[in-house]
Structures are given as structure tokens and as C-alpha cells.
Amino acid sequence: MKAILRSRLTPLVALALIMALVPMIAPTSFHLRVAALVWIFSLAALGLTILMGYAGQVSLGHAGFLGIGAYAVAIGPARLGLDPLLCLLLGAVLSGLIAWLVGRPILKLKGYYLAIATLGFGVIVALILHSETELTGGPDGMSVSRITLFGWRVTGALNWYWVSAGALLIGALIALNIAASPTGRALRALHDSEVAAAGAGIDVSAKKLAAFVVAAVYAAVAGGLLAAMNGLITPEAASFSHSVELVAMVIIGGLGSVFGTVLGAAFLVVLPQTLTAFQEYEQAVLGLLIMVFMIFLPQGIVPSLRAMIEERLP
């Protein structure tokens, strides 16, 4: 039992099972859309799990990378006549490149200085998307052409459900592999103590930068999928509140846990839909629930539950 709980593949198999089950029980395409949004935001938050959970670095501007990926898919085909799928990849590369350039100076900062610097980055991206009306359509956003996968035009809730689920499975597999690799161990070492990690021969700044770049690529791919699924993107995607939401997903689900990240994303995507009954108190109830969860499950949902179950097992 403990072996199953600790196995690297358990979260992946569980995730795949859930993905296969949801379309069977979802009554309408509205529910499928919500599920697809959970997969897409999970993917964005997974990158942050690598950065925050593994490497212990905070980013409060991550929606900025999501915005870069999203607008790459919007701008490429509309203004440059490129293939949307190619733009999804280009957006990921561009996002990674920007993360690398920006990350080199900012990752030298620690603690809340790093948080503020990343926050600043996110705000700048949102500002540019807002004001470069000629390129981005300004605050009203711009429409995104449909993605064609090997001659198959992706439309409809069910198709997008499978595309986003597939993308998340691949993303989760990569994240789990990174966690088990020497890089993953190095990241956890510098998470615990940068001095000790450096003493053990780990190139601390290079590893931090690598985690930042990987996290940016995850967010960009998620942003690209989001833009293509909605067929429209607005600068709101890159907003500060979105960045905070991504961080909250990682923390609520459980820092450093892949399955927890998906649960955290599900929590923040599904809950607002069930809380609409509270109308104007919706935000307050959402905040209250987050507080309740953090008080009773301080490690996040998945790690706290795992610890409890492991303790009770012989």
C-alpha cells in the first residue's frame, strides 16, 4: 500500500483514469468545458509546482508567461499568417527565452524580492498586452483562429477535453520525470538550503534558472491551449489576479505534488461554479473555504492526506 502511495506512476495512472471517466459522467458540454479548463490550468500550475514545490522559488508573475503563450497563438496566425500549431510551439520557445533573459538577473534575488521582481514582470506583460492595440487588440482582446491537428480542425467541447487532457498527461509525465532526475534532486537540495546545495557542488543559479524556464514553457503551452479553445483572448489572461490564482492552485493542492496541483486547479476552477448560489458573497465564501483548507490541511490537500493515510497503515 505504501509502495503504491509512493510510486511515481500512481498519480499519473490515477489522473488518466479520472480523465477517462469524466466524459462518461459529464451530463453536458458545459461540464466538459469546466473539466477541460481544469486540465489547462493544471498544466500552467504544474510549471509553478516545479518552480515553487521543487526549487522553492516564488513567481507572482506567472500569468505573464501564460499571456505570452496565448497571444503567440492569437497574433502569429492573424498578423503573420503562421500555422496556429506552430505558433503554440513558438510561443513556448519565446516564453522560455524571455524567462531565461529575465530570470538571469531576477533569480539572484531571494524571498520576497524575487516575488516582487516576478510580480513586476507580470504587470509589464499585462500592460503591453493592454496598450499595444495595433498588435493585440487592446483591452477588448483579439480572436484566435482554430488549431488544426494533422488535418483535423479542433472544435467542440469533447475534442478540446481530449486535447487538454492529453497535454496535461504529457506535462505531468515530464514533471514526474524531472522530480526523479538528478536535476529534481538538485532542486530539492537548493530548496532546503542554497548554501548546502552549493557546498555539495550544485550550480545553484543554473538550476534555479532551468526551473524558471521550464515553468514558463508550461504556462505558455497552457495559455496557447486556452486561447485556441476559447477562440478569443483578452489581456485579463496575464493579469496579476490570475498569477495569484495559479500560485493558490499549487499551494492548496500541495506544494511539490503533481496530483495535488491538479486537485488545486480543480478546486479553484470548479468551486466558483458551485458557489454562484452565494451571488455577491461568492468571493467571500471562496476565501473562507481556502482558509479552512489551509488551516486543516496545512501541507495542501494531497500531501496532508497522504501523511495521514500513511500513518494509519501498518
Partner 1 sequence: MDTPARLRPMLRAAAIMLATAVAGPALTSPAFAADPIKIGSVVSATGPSAFLGDPEAKTLKLYVDELNKKGGLLGRPVELVLYDDGGDANKARTFATRLVEDDKVVAMVGGTSTGATMAMIPVFEEAGIPFVSLAGGIEIIEPVRAFVFKTPHTDKTACQKIFEDMKARGITKIGMISGTDGFGKSMRNQCLKVIGQYGITVVADENYGATDSDMTPQLNKIKNTAGVEAVLNPGFGQGPAIVTRNYAQLGIKLPLYQSHGVASKSFIELAGPAAEGVRLPAPAILIGDKLAANDPQKPVVAEYKTSYEKATGQPVSTFGGYGYDGIQLVARAIESAKSADPKKIRDALEATKGYVGVTGIYTFAPADHLGLGTDSFRMLVIRNGDWAIEAPAR
Phi/psi for 54 (5° steps) reads -80, -55
User: Which residues of this chain interact with partner 1, rule CB under 8 A?
Assistant: 28-31, 33-34, 37, 133, 138-141, 143, 157, 226, 230-234, 236-237, 242, 272-280, 282-283, 285, 289, 292-293, 295-297, 304-305, 308, 311-312
In the bound complex, what is the minimum distance in angstroms from residue 302's beta carbon to partner 1?
12
Shortest distance, position 261 Cβ to partner 1, whole Å: 19
Nearer to partner 1, 41 or 212 (CB): 41
- The residue type of 243 is S
Q: Which is nearer to partner 1, 103 or 260 (CB)?
A: 260
Return the DSSP state at 108. Answer: T
Report the residue number, 125 or 211, with the smaller CB distance to partner 1. Answer: 125
Smallest distance, Å, CB 121 to partner 1? 20
Query: Distance between CA 307 and CA 231 in Å, rounded?
Result: 42
Contacts of 156 (CB under 8 A, 6+ apart): 29
* Minimum gap (Å) between residue 134 Cβ and partner 1: 9
Whole-angstrom distance, CA of residue 160 vs CA of residue 22: 13
Closer residue to partner 1, CB minimum distance, 176 or 225:
225
Q: Quick check: helix, strand or coil at residue 81?
A: coil
Could you please report the per-residue DSSP string of 40-70? HHHHHHHHHIIIIIIT----S-HHHHHHHHH
In the complex with partner 1, the residue whose CB is nearer, 98 or 227, is 227
CB of 38 to partner 1, least distance (A): 11
**Spatial separation of the C-alpha atoms in residues 266 and 180, rounded to whole Å:** 25
Looking at the Cβ atoms of 148 and 283, the one nearer to partner 1 is 283
Whether the CB-CB separation of 52 and 58 falls below 8 Å is answered with yes
Least Å from the CB of residue 93 to partner 1: 24
Q: Which three cell numbers, joined as nine digits, stand for 310?
A: 500513511
